């Protein structure tokens, strides 16, 4: 039995094919089944059911439309008496059809039966709870397909998902791809547009600035050689050269990592050439490895994903392990955790994905023109403060608490970071050097800190591991024992119990 097979009752067939406006649940089920190439069957018994329809015109139309679906024939030799013995009294011809459908379902000829007939649902439940769970109403069937096959969205602002046909591939952005691959336009049309390949895009002033074209691949049809069953191929990964200063490559790579982890991929891979040095460096920093070289010199870079807990390795810093296995991190009895209070203004700058004003401007959420001017929503980040508290070793976990705020979330832990390093800046020049390309502040912003020998600024470098959805609000934090009394105003150490509770509550998509 394939979990991709759905048997539809006569009432569903009529609801889908009748000559009237289709209800939303029916159209949703039909569209999702077509999108994910699911097998939708009509039982041979449905023909007998439809033949009894006294509306001659509707009967003729319905019978003609059955041929659109795969026909499921009953098991030979099964009599009405057999069906009645198995599924209870069959007083009407319609009952016989219901029993025939349930028999095929019980035999494993389909994974689910979709019906709006309450009596059929009750008959299935009476036979067994397991069979009853496999008989679905049309709305539940659509929801199940979404839950099973629809990719989970990840909340990264400024990155939009579109299909290839929505992109103007004649734009200058693609010129370098054409130069290196003369067949590019034909490939884009045949492989991307006609196959409706999904893409992640970033626009700046209505111009395409970053692009990833992705493709799902099974184990028996992939160029990757790492073990796994579910593969994510990055067919195209390109950032406009003049836009690379705003960390678009890392922004797009974060989208890949979070998407792959949230949706249970085993391997993500990309092919590229040795001269693409900046992209090679970025990929290798986050654990991609060259597995082999093709005959034309193209390199195949692969990265494995897992939902298992990340174990501490001898001779390797927990931070390095986390970086190479991002977004997973090490959490064991040696891992330290800290709460980091952060004011709303700084929170909005560091975590622009979570910026949620009560009265957003008209352009909030749009791709075009929404590109961040500084790398606020990249992976590598820096937080500045003057907290006297010390932090732990590299690989420690940081839980960011947004204080009382005008816009939601307020008084909540919203994000998890993985500590890289901590340093003190005693001048603006030191601050500029220590923050490097991670800073979300301008030079004048840094100068305003007034870093000096007497009043140094603490520079906390870290990786953004994930956002916590929904955020952990103050009442829940008190219930967990993380906050006692008034919320802490400075960096504080988390107890091992609080660290475990917060990590479990974060629902990170991997064991901790």
Q: Evaluate whether 177 touches 272 at the Cβ level (below 8 Å).
A: no
| Alpha-carbon span 57 to 85, nearest angstrom | 36
pLDDT score at 20 = 56
pTM listed for this prediction: 0.78
SS3 content of the chain, % helix, strand, coil (to 5): 40, 25, 40
Q: Which residue has the tokens 């200063």?
A: 245
Q: Which residue has the tokens 């991002």?
A: 326
Closest to 414 measured CA to CA, from 332, 474, 497: 474
| Alpha-carbon span 7 to 472, nearest angstrom | 42
Calculate the alpha carbon distances from 143 to 28, 87, 92, 400 in Å. Answer: 9, 28, 32, 34
Calculate the alpha carbon distances from 207 to 161, 194, 369, 384, 492 in Å. Answer: 16, 23, 9, 33, 44
The pairing of strands 289-293 and 299-304 is antiparallel
3-class secondary structure per residue, 191-244: HHHCCCCEEEEEEECCEEEEEEEEEEEECCCCCCCCCCCEEEEEEEEEECHHHH
pLDDT in tens, the chain (512 residues): 567 899 999 888 777 665 555 577 788 898 999 998 899 999 998 877 777 777 887 777 777 777 788 889 999 999 999 999 999 999 888 899 999 999 999 998 998 999 988 889 889 988 987 788 888 888 888 878 877 777 766 666 678 899 999 999 999 999 989 988 889 999 999 999 999 999 999 887 778 989 999 999 999 999 999 999 999 999 999 988 766 555 788 889 999 999 999 999 999 999 999 888 888 888 999 999 999 999 999 999 999 999 999 999 999 999 999 999 999 999 999 999 999 999 998 898 889 888 876 644 433 443 433 333 333 578 989 899 998 888 999 999 999 999 999 999 999 999 999 999 999 999 988 887 777 656 667 667 888 999 999 999 999 999 999 999 999 999 999 999 999 889 999 999 999 999 999 999 998 889 88
Q: Which residue has the tokens 């590229």?
A: 272
Q: Evaluate whether 167 touches 211 at the Cβ level (below 8 Å).
A: yes
Q: Which residue has the tokens 């692009």?
A: 211
| Alpha-carbon span 401 to 474, nearest angstrom | 9
What is the signed CA dihedral for 397, 469, 388, 438, rounded to 10 degrees?
80
| Domains observed in the chain | 5-149 (3.40.50.1010), 160-304 (3.40.630.30), 337-362+373-506 (2.30.130.30)
């Amino acid at each position: 039995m394939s979990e991709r097979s759905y048997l539809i009752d006569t009432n569903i067939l009529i609801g889908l094919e009748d000559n009237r406006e289709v209800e939303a649940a029916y159209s949703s089920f039909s569209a999702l089944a077509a999108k994910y190439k699911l097998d939708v069957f009509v039982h041979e018994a449905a023909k007998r059911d439809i033949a009894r329809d006294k509306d001659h015109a509707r009967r003729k139309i319905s019978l003609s439309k059955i041929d659109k679906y795969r026909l499921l024939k009953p098991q030979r030799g099964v009599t009405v008496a057999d069906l009645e013995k198995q599924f209870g009294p069959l007083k009407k011809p319609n009952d016989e059809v219901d029993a025939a459908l349930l028999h095929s379902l019980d035999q494993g000829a389909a994974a689910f039966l979709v019906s709006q007939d309450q009596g059929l649902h009750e008959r299935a439940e009476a036979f067994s709870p397991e069979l009853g769970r496999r008989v679905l109403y049309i709305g539940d069937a659509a929801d199940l397909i979404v839950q099973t096959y629809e990719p989970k969205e990840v909340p990264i602002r400024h990155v939009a998902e579109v299909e290839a046909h929505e992109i103007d591939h004649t734009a200058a952005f693609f010129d370098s791809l054409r130069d290196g691959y003369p067949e590019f336009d034909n490939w884009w049309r045949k492989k991307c547009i006609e196959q409706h390949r999904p893409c992640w895009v970033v626009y700046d002033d209505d111009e395409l600035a970053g692009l990833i074209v992705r493709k799902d691949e099974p184990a028996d049809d992939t160029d990757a050689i790492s073990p796994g069953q579910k593969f994510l191929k990055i067919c195209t990964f390109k950032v406009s050269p003049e836009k690379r200063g705003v960390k678009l490559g890392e922004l797009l790579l974060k989208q890949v990592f979070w998407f792959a982890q949230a949706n249970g991929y085993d391997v993500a891979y990309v092919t590229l050439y040795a001269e693409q040095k900046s992209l090679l460096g970025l990929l290798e920093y986050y654990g991609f490895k060259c597995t082999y070289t093709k005959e034309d010199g193209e390199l195949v870079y692969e990265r494995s994903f897992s939902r298992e807990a990340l174990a501490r390795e001898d001779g390797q810093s927990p931070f390095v392990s986390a970086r190479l296995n991002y977004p997973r991190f090490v959490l064991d009895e040696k891992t330290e955790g800290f709460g980091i209070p952060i004011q709303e203004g700084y929170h909005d700058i560091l975590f622009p994905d979570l910026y949620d004003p009560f009265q957003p401007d008209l352009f909030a959420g749009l791709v075009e023109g929404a590109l961040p001017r500084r790398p606020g929503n990249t992976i590598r980040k820096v937080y500045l403060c003057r907290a006297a508290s010390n932090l732990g070793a590299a690989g420690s976990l940081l839980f960011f608490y947004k204080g009382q705020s005008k816009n939601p979330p307020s008084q909540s832990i919203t994000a998890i970071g993985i500590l890289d390093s901590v340093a003190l800046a005693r001048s603006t020049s030191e601050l500029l050097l220590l923050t490097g390309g991670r800073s979300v502040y301008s030079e004048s912003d840094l100068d305003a800190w007034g870093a000096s020998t007497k009043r140094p600024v603490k520079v906390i470098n870290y990786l953004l591991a994930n956002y916590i959805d929904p955020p952990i609000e103050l009442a829940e934090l008190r219930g967990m024992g993380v906050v006692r009394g008034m919320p802490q105003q400075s960096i504080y150490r988390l107890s091992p119990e609080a660290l475990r509770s917060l990590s479990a509550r974060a629902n990170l998509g991997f064991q901790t």
